């Protein structure tokens, strides 16, 4: 099963099954670190794993070949819409 992270409410992640649209609540402590809205997780052997390939594929489908730059950057740690300060 593959899920998109819809949102996080306190310590609960709301995951949406990308095939059925069904939503489920999971403790964030059962998920990998570095989560952000829209990240794709696959469940294998009762463990959730980040699926970067599926996320990129969905991002390209939604936003075209130019991609979408609104997700937090692992390099800068910036949030959506923020511009990192320049030295």
Task: Give CA–CA dist 40/86, Å, rounded.
Answer: 31
Phi, psi of 56 (to 5 degrees): -65, -40
From the first residue on, what is the mean pLDDT of each consecutive set of 10 residues in the chain (87 residues)? 94 94 95 91 93 85 62 46 48
Q: What is the pLDDT of residue 61?
A: 78
What is d(CA 36, CA 52) in angstroms, rounded to the nearest whole number?
12
What is the pLDDT, as a whole number, of residue 57?
Answer: 85
Burial of 71 (0-12, 13-18, 19+ CB in 10 A): middle
Q: What is the distance between the alpha carbons of residues 14 and 86, in angstroms, rounded to a whole number?
A: 35
Tokens 């310590």 found at: 11
């Amino acid at each position: 099963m593959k899920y998109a992270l819809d949102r996080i409410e306190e310590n609960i992640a709301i995951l949406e099954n990308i095939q059925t649209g069904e939503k489920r609540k999971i403790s964030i402590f059962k998920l990998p670190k570095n989560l952000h809205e829209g990240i794709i997780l696959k469940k294998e052997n009762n463990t959730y794993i980040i699926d970067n390939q599926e996320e990129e594929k969905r991002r390209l489908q939604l936003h075209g070949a130019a991609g979408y730059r609104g997700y937090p950057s692992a390099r800068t740690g910036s949030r959506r819409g923020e511009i990192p300060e320049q030295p």
